């Protein structure tokens, strides 16, 4: 896992995914920038040429504006310039027959100038029109933060548009995000909108999710959360902070929807809201006891409609462990349940999750409040869930793999997990057993709770 390498050397990024993620672009764009714009990436020895880049060098490269500099056009070859001068020197000889008839020659010259001028103007108009058309075809591919300004870039590195917010943005938060902006066609007009969480510096009550159209004009703003009351009568009022968001589409060609997870600023309440992609209006919402940081959209059951997977932690006293929820495409609502079926939030219906997965805690996380799902990824054949064994994002991790029926099929311990286990075994705090046996036991301890599928609404 790349995260394991980077955790030991946080100043060094290894692999195209990590490098591209730091720049806010896709892997192909980062690879292209190495050749066309001098992106400082090198190959590590002994790792089959694995690409690596220093965070400090990448940041310096971005600040220098290199990502926006177009390489200068090559100078014409000396032979070409000499040929041009030679043609200019022999031009009078070519026109010598007309010198016997000055008036005729003058008219001919004026005709040449007129035709040449008209052609030049027409060509200029065509080039200008072509340039506008090419610029109009540019699509957003990356972004960066400059003080209070969001800069959205095209895949060629040029600036598409800028938006300056009323307050300076908290760049430290954006640096920790795997993705700052999400670019998607939300209204089927062929243009990509830009979704970005708004994190103004030292103004937590104003954090939101904003949508901009293809020209950089603000379309809508979503302020997450509301006042909710839990099963013990405690109230949780805004602000809530957006921590994950993805685009959700159905079988039809209607407007896209957005699924947005937002956590309470000081406590455990988490809202999963479904928004209308065109307007930002809340269509439905689900409430969970514990933050849900990770999200993935994928068609798990092969019915042509994507399901929603949301991972994080259920920190209720009955659980206090990493959890993953799976929702159907058409219904995300209600509140999650305790082991006896009671709801963790008052005035809500039972949650619409189709299944809930609980991940075991290891001796490494037993001394901490909980473990949690860090990431979830789906491929054509499997779902991989990375669980952090601790309350911090840099905690050692374990990878759990499931088939498309959500049956656990394998467990892989990271190097850091194996080192921690070895330390505990040597200290007498964990039984001595092979890592393969530990992985097999953890797989057997994964608990999958399946709920009846409710009618869509």
- Per-position DSSP letters for 118-133, written without gaps between them: HHHHHHHHHHHHHHHH
The more confidently predicted of residues 414 and 73 is 414
Q: Which residues contact 380 (CB under 8 A, 6 or more apart)?
A: none
Confidence class for position 95, pLDDT limits 50, 70, 90: very low
Averaged confidence pLDDT in the chain: 83
pLDDT of residue 31: 87
Confidence class for position 96, pLDDT limits 50, 70, 90: very low
C-alpha torsion sign, points 114, 116, 117, 123? positive
Q: What is the arithmetic mean of pLDDT over 82-107?
A: 36
Q: Does the structure show a pLDDT above 60 at 364?
A: yes
Of the candidate ranges 2-16, 91-105, 139-153, 211-225, the one whose mean pLDDT is the lowest: 91-105
Q: What is the arithmetic mean of pLDDT over 334-353?
A: 96
Residue count (the chain): 457
Structure tokens at 335: 């509140």
Which CATH number describes the domain made up of 2-62?
1.10.10
Structure tokens at 412: 């892989």
Percent of the chain beyond pLDDT 70? 79
Of the candidate ranges 110-124, 272-286, 347-361, 421-435, the one whose mean pLDDT is the lowest: 110-124
> What is the distance between the alpha carbons of residues 64 and 53, in angstroms, rounded to a whole number?
16
Burial (CB count within 10 angstroms: exposed 0-12, middle 13-18, buried 19+), residue 226:
middle
Among the listed residues 263, 282, 273, 384, the one whose alpha carbon sits nearest the alpha carbon of residue 324 = 384
| Residue range(s) of every CATH 1.10.10 domain in the chain | 2-62
> To which H or E segment does residue 259 belong?
strand 257-264
The more confidently predicted of residues 222 and 14 is 222
Burial (CB count within 10 angstroms: exposed 0-12, middle 13-18, buried 19+), residue 244:
buried
Q: Does the structure show a pLDDT above 50 at 55?
A: yes
Number of other residues whose CB lies within 10 A of the CB of residue 375 = 19
Strand intervals (E) in 34-98: 42-43, 51-54
The more confidently predicted of residues 318 and 17 is 318
Confidence class for position 124, pLDDT limits 50, 70, 90: low
pLDDT of residue 2: 39
Per DSSP, 343 falls in state B
Phi, psi of 386 (to 5 degrees): -100, 125
> What is the distance between the alpha carbons of residues 139 and 153, in angstroms, rounded to a whole number?
8
pLDDT of residue 118: 54
């Amino acid at each position: 896992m790349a995260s394991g390498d980077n955790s030991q050397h946080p100043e060094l990024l290894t692999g195209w995914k990590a490098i591209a993620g730091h720049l806010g672009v896709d892997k192909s764009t980062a690879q292209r920038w190495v050749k066309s714009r001098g992106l400082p990436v090198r190959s590590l020895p002994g790792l089959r040429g694995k690409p690596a880049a220093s965070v400090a060098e990448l940041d310096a490269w971005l600040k220098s504006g290199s990502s926006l500099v177009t390489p200068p056009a090559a100078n014409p070859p000396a032979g070409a310039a000499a040929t041009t001068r030679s043609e200019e020197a022999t031009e009078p000889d070519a026109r010598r027959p007309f010198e016997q008839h000055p008036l005729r020659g003058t008219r001919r010259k004026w005709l040449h100038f007129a035709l040449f001028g008209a052609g030049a103007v027409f060509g200029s108009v065509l080039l200008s029109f072509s340039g506008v058309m090419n610029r109009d075809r540019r699509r957003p591919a990356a972004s960066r933060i400059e003080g209070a300004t969001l800069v959205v870039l095209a895949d060629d590195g040029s600036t598409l548009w800028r938006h300056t917010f009323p307050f300076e943005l908290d760049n430290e938060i954006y640096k920790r995000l795997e993705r700052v902006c999400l670019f998607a066609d939300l209204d089927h007009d062929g243009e990509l909108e830009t979704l970005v969480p708004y994190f103004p510096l030292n103004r937590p009550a104003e954090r939101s999710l904003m949508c901009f159209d293809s020209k950089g004009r603000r379309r809508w703003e979503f302020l997450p959360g509301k006042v909710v009351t839990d099963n013990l009568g405690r109230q949780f009022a805004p602000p809530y902070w957006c921590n994950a968001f993805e685009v959700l589409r159905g079988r039809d060609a209607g407007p896209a929807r957005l699924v947005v997870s937002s956590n309470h600023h000081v406590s455990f309440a988490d809202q999963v809201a479904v928004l209308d992609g065109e307007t930002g209006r809340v269509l439905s919402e689900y409430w969970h006891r514990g933050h849900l940081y990770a999200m993935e959209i994928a068609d798990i059951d092969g019915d042509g409609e994507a399901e929603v997977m949301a991972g994080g932690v259920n920190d209720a006293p009955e659980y206090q462990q990493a959890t993953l929820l799976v929702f159907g495409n058409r219904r995300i609502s209600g509140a999650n349940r305790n082991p006896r079926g009671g709801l963790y939030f008052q005035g809500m219906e039972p949650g619409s999750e189709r299944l809930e997965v609980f991940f075991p805690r290891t001796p490494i996380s037993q001394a901490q409040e909980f473990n949690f799902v860090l990431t979830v990824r789906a491929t054509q054949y499997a779902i991989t869930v990375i669980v952090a064994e601790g309350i911090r994002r840099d905690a050692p991790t374990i990878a759990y793999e499931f088939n498309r029926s959500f049956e656990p099929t394998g467990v892989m311990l990271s190097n850091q997990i194996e080192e921690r286990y070895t330390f505990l075994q040597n200290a007498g705090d964990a039984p001595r057993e092979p890592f393969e046996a530990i992985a097999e036991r953890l797989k057997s301890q994964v608990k999958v709770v399946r709920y009846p599928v409710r009618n869509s609404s």
